[in-house]
Structures are given as structure tokens and as C-alpha cells.
Amino acid sequence: MEGPAAERRRAGSRARGISPGRASRRVTSRVRSSVTIDAPIEDVFAFFDDLKFARLLVPQLVEITGVEDLPNGGRRVSYTTLGRDHQVFDASSEHLVYDPPEQTVGRSVQSGVEMLSTRRFTAIADDRTRVDAVVEWSVPVRFVAKMVERPLRRPLRAALRNGLATAKSYLERA
């Protein structure tokens, strides 16, 4: 009779089995960034919400292929992005929370990696706005997640910071 114990014996006397629950746990990672923009909260929210500025915020965006309005006031967007080695990838995102002008929470999926993006907009004195952005991503297989986390962390952090800096520059020039 074959089973987990037999497999551990074949692997050696010190081998330990990994429970299926532990092996299939999702691993979640996140990057954060914030910026203060010298513009009213409504203008800042509108900038991030307007798809005509999407290419400024996401430079690797190739094309928006579809837009669908959602009952919560947000939208579902299908698009393509340019990856490393100039490969084109299909992706989609949708607003889970859409609360103008204070917060958006969006979920996107690209190449099997699910990401959750949260932007909080806070009005502060003198028509200034603080934008706090968080991107979380999860990979369904624990061992694959360890290989994916490091290559994703640096570019996602850089993209988040660059997007916020671009928004600040654009809105403060206007």
C-alpha cells in the first residue's frame, strides 16, 4: 500500500511531508507609497480616475481594449501591457470599492497573479491632498510565490512611486 509515509521513506529518513493545506496557502506581499499633492482632493481623484491619464500612470500600458461600467459607480477595464522582452500581456481590472473622492480599491489579474490596489485620498490644509497607495499581490501556490515575490516587488514599488510622482508633477503644473 503506497501513501505519504512510503513517499517520505523513499525521500530519506529525515524527509518531512508538507501538508496539502500548507502547500496551497496563498502568499500575499505588498508595497506602499504616499505623496502630498498641491491640488484639491476632487482634482486629484479625477486625475487618477480618468482613463485618458492611464498611460501616464502605467507607462507599460499598450491599449485599453474594453470598459464596462459597474453598479458601484466604478468600472471594469480590459487592457494589454508590455512586459519584459517586449511581450504583450492581456490583463483586466475592476473597482471593488469606488468612493469618490476618498477611496478606490481595484482588483486586477495578469499572468495568473492577482493584485489589489488601494488608493486613499485625504484632503489636508490649503487645498492639498495626500494620496496613500498600496498594491498587494498574491500567488496561489506557496512555493511559486517565493520565486515570484522578489522579481515583482522592485518593479511594482518603482511603478507605484513613479505613478504618484507623475500625478504630483502633472497636477501641480496645471
CA atoms of 14 and 3, how far apart (whole Å): 17
13-50 CB burial, b ≥16 within 10 A, e <16? eeeeeeeeeeeeeebebebebebebebbbeebbebbbe
CA atoms of 145 and 49, how far apart (whole Å): 31
pLDDT of 16 over the 60 cut = no
Return the C-alpha cell found at 70. Answer: 459597474
Pairing of the two strands 103-110 and 113-124: antiparallel
Q: What percent of the chain has a predicted confidence (pLDDT) above 90? A: 63
- Are 26 and 144 within 8 A, CB to CB? no
CA atoms of 74 and 44, how far apart (whole Å): 16
Write the pLDDT tens digit of every residue in 23-78: 555 567 899 999 999 999 999 999 999 999 999 999 899 999 999 999 999 999 99
- Are 47 and 168 within 8 A, CB to CB? no
pLDDT of 142 over the 80 cut = no
The pLDDT value recorded for residue 4 is: 55
Return the C-alpha cell found at 92. Answer: 483586466
> Which is nearest to 73 in space by CA: 103, 43, 117?
103
Q: Which residue has the higher pLDDT, 112 or 89?
A: 89
As a whole number, mean pLDDT of residues 4-9 equals: 52
Task: Compute the C-alpha angle 105/107/110, nearest 5°.
Answer: 150
CA atoms of 61 and 129, how far apart (whole Å): 26
- Are 41 and 121 within 8 A, CB to CB? yes
Catalogue all structural domains in the chain, each as residue range(s) with its CATH number: 27-173 (3.30.530.20)
Q: Could you please report the per-residue DSSP string of 49-76?
A: H-GGGHHHH-TTEEEEEEEEE-TTS-EE
